[in-house]
Amino acid sequence: GTWFGLVAPPGTPSALAGRLAEVVNAALRDPEVGGRLVEQGAVLGGGSPESFGRFMEAERARLEPVIRGGGIRAE
């Protein structure tokens, strides 16, 4: 599937990352914003920087064999 997320540079203060997550989560709960995304086919998520990090790591582990097996390289 396709997913979207926000990432910040290494060393970003955890308080700033947490605040960004709060703002994004609030936007997703907003009927106008979240509703518009759902109308376009999105399944809303949200969460914490830690939960998104775990999700990204799981995706990396899931896709790594496909990438290596296919000889896929970044350009």
Please report, for the chain, the start and end positions of each structural domain, with discontinuous segments joined by +: 14-69
pLDDT the model gives residue 1: 74
Going residue by residue through the chain (75 aa), what tens digit of pLDDT does each one get?
A: 788 999 999 999 999 999 999 999 999 999 999 999 999 999 999 999 999 999 999 999 999 999 999 999 988
pLDDT the model gives residue 31: 96
Report how far apart, in Å, the C-alpha atoms of 53 and of each of 8, 17, 41, 70 are: 11, 12, 24, 25
Rounded to 5 degrees, φ, ψ at 62 are -70, -40
What is the pTM (predicted TM-score) of this model? 0.77
Distance CA 19, CA 25 (A): 10
CB of 48 closer than 8 Å to CB of 21 = yes
